[in-house]
Chains A and B, each alone.
Chain A
C-alpha cells in the first residue's frame, strides 16, 4: 500500500463519507483528525525510534525501566518503600526542624537521602540575620547559613544512612558551589572520602534568569561559577552529577511546549560548550548532566511526544554537535517524567486536580517514566501538601503501575501515526527555535538581550487571554460553573508533617544560631579567607571551589562569601520592560 494510494483514498473518504457527516451536523470542518501512514511518510523505525537504551533513545534511555525492576514477584511488595516521602523535595524552618522532620520520616521507613529544599534567602545568597529579607527565613525551605547548619540537618543521616550510603539532592543554583562545599566539608569531618559521595545539585543558573528567579550574579560570572563546578566535579567527585537542567520551571513560567524544549536544549548546550572550552573531554563530563522532569500540560499525547522528542534531540545534539562517542553521554536522564503543570491545577473544586494529575501520570507511563501523579491535589491551596493528598497521589501511581499495568510495555505509542507525527512536529519546531537562539549567540546572549524572558511572558499572557475568551476550557474555572454544579469541599485533616509553629519561629531561632557561630569562630581567619577569595575571584582563570571549601571549614557564612563575589562580579539587574 503506497502513500499515494492512501492519499487518494483519503480524498475519496473525505468526499463520500466525511462531508455528508459534516453537513448533517452543520459543520464547516471536522472537530476530529485522523492520522494515516501518509502523515509520517518515509518513517524509518531504526532512525527515528530505535530500541530502548540505544541511539537516538526515542523509546527510552535504558533497556529496562529502572523503577520497574523486581516489581513482578511478591518480594517487590515487601521491598516497596511505602510512602516515598523522604525522597521528596523537603526542608523547612531552622536546620533543627528539618533534621527532626527527616528523623521522623526515617521512623516511618524512609531509606533515601534528602532532597533538600532551601529557603529563599539561602537561594539568593543572604544570611538569616539580614534585615532586608525578614519574613522569608525557613518558609519555602530550610535556612542554611554556615557549615554548622549542614552538621545539624545531617544528624538525621548517620550509620545506615551515612553520607556514603545515600544520595543528596540540593535545589540550589546561584550559590550551588558554596552549598556543595558544605557537603564536602561535612564528609571530610566524618572521614568519608569525596569519591564515595552521590548526589545532584540543581546548579542550573541560566534558567533562573528566565524562570524561578533565584539569580545573584550576571550571566557571565554565573557561567564562570558553573565552569568551576564542572571542572571540580569532573576531577574530584565521580559519584555526583553536575546539574539538573531546566524542564518544568520554564513551562510553569509560561513558555509553550516548543519554547520549553528549545530553551532547555539551548541552556544545556551552553553548559556543554562551557566544559569543552575549559578543556574537558565531552565524554568525561556529559554523563554528569541530568534534566529536571519535563512536563507541564494536560495534553496527554503531546506530552508523550514531547518526552520522545526531547530524548532524541539531546542525543542528536551530543552526537552531532559535540561529537560525543559514549552512549552514556547522550542520555537525557530525568528523575521523573511527564506530568501536568502546577499551573494546570485549580483552586476551584480542588479534588479535580487528582483527576488531572492522573492524566499526567498516564503520559509519564506512556513515555518511559514512573506513573507519578503529581502534584497532589491540594497544590493551589497553600504551601505544603496534606498527607491525605500525598497518599492519594502515591496510590494513583501504584494503581496505574500494578493494577492497570501501564508500564509493561516500553514506548507503547511508538509507531502510532499520530504520535510519531507529533514527535517530529515538536522536535522540528524546537530545532527551528534553537537555531534562532544559536544565531543570537546562544542561551546567554538570548538571556542578556531579554529575548527568552519576553517570549515567556508573552506566551503566558496569550494563554491567559485564551482562557478568558473561553478558547482554552478549564472545568470548574471558565466552564461548568453553573448553579447546578456543586462545590466539592475537601477535608485536609492530616496536615503535612511540618510544624507550622516551628516554621513561624524559625527566623528567631536561626538568627540566634548564626550569632552563636559568629561568636565562637576564629574571625581573623574568616577575614583572611574572605580576602583570599576576593583576590581569586578577580582572576577569571582561577577555580574558586577550593576557596569555598576553605571558607566553609572556617564557618564563613554563605552571605559573607556571596558579598565578596557581589563586589567582584556585580549583581544581575533584570530589565523589566514588559
Chain B
C-alpha cells in the first residue's frame, strides 16, 4: 500500500462557461485530500482536455459546466478518452446539471454527477473507492 502514488486528477472546464468557483474549490479541496491536482483553466475544448489527460496520464477527470452545454461537451470528453485508449479514466462531473440529464450522462460513461452542495470529502471518498486500483501501483 505504501508504494502507491497519489491519485492524479485533472479538473477541467469544457466550453466557454466562466463560472469557475466550484472547479477551483474542488481542485483545492482534492489537493488537501492528498491528491495531485491539475486545473485546466477556462475555455477548454474536449480535444484539449483529453490531450491533457493523456499527457499527464491522470486517473480521474472532473468536468464542471454551468452553461447548459454539458450534454454535448461531457459526452465528447468521454468518447475521445476512449478513442485515445484512456477509457479506464474515472470521469466525474459537477455544475448545474438538471436531474433529467443525469441518466443520459451516466449512460455515456460519466461515473457520478455531483450537484450543488456536495462536500469535497464526499467527492474524494468516491474517487478513492472507484479509481482503478491497477493504475495506482507504484512506479
Contact = CB atoms under 8 A, between A and B. Distances in A.
A89 interface: no
Interface residues of A, number: 42
Contacts of A381: 98-99
A574 to B, nearest CB: 6
Nearest to A575: B41
A572 B53 CA distance: 23
A576 B41 contact: yes
A468 B41 CA distance: 25
Contacts of B73: 135
B69 A460 contact: no
B28 A140 contact: no
A253 B17 CA distance: 13
Given A139-B69, A212-B18, A578 B120 contact: no
A383 B17 CA distance: 13
B24 A468 contact: no
Helix, strand, loop or mixed for chain A's interface? loop
A128 B135 CA distance: 40
B117 A252 contact: no
Nearest to B26: A464
Contacts of A136: 15-16, 67, 69
Contacts of B20: 213, 253
B72 interface: yes
A517 interface: no
A345 B116 CA distance: 9
Contacts of B76: 135
A347 B115 contact: yes
B16 A133 contact: yes
Contacts of A212: 18-19
A382 B96 contact: yes
Contacts of B28: 457, 461, 578
Interface string A179-208: 000000000000000000000000000001
Contact of A468 (B17, B42, B97, B119): B119
A252 B42 CA distance: 17
Interface in B19-48: 19-21, 24-25, 27-29, 31, 37, 39-43, 45
Interface in A465-483: 465, 467-468, 474, 477-478
Looking at B45, B72, B117, B121, the one whose CB has the most chain A CB atoms below 10 A away is: B117
A348 B121 CA distance: 18
Contact of A134 (B39, B72, B116, B119): B72
B21 A460 contact: yes
Contact of B24 (A135, A382, A460, A477): A460
B68 interface: yes
A148 to B, nearest CB: 22
Contact of A120 (B16, B71, B96): B16
B42 A254 contact: no
Contact of B18 (A208, A343, A383, A464): A208
B117 A576 contact: no
Contacts of B24: 254, 457, 460-461, 578
Contact of B15 (A120, A208, A461, A578): A120
Contacts of B43: 124, 213
A32 interface: no
Q: Lowest 8 CB-CB distances: which A-B pairs, in order?
A: A213-B18, A135-B72, A382-B98, A120-B16, A576-B41, A135-B69, A139-B68, A383-B68
Given A382-B68, A457-B24, A576-B40, 10 more contacts: A135-B69, A136-B67, A213-B20, A213-B42, A254-B25, A348-B117, A461-B29, A468-B121, A576-B39, A578-B24
12 contacts: A121-B16, A135-B71, A135-B76, A347-B115, A347-B116, A348-B117, A380-B115, A457-B21, A457-B28, A478-B119, A574-B42, A576-B40
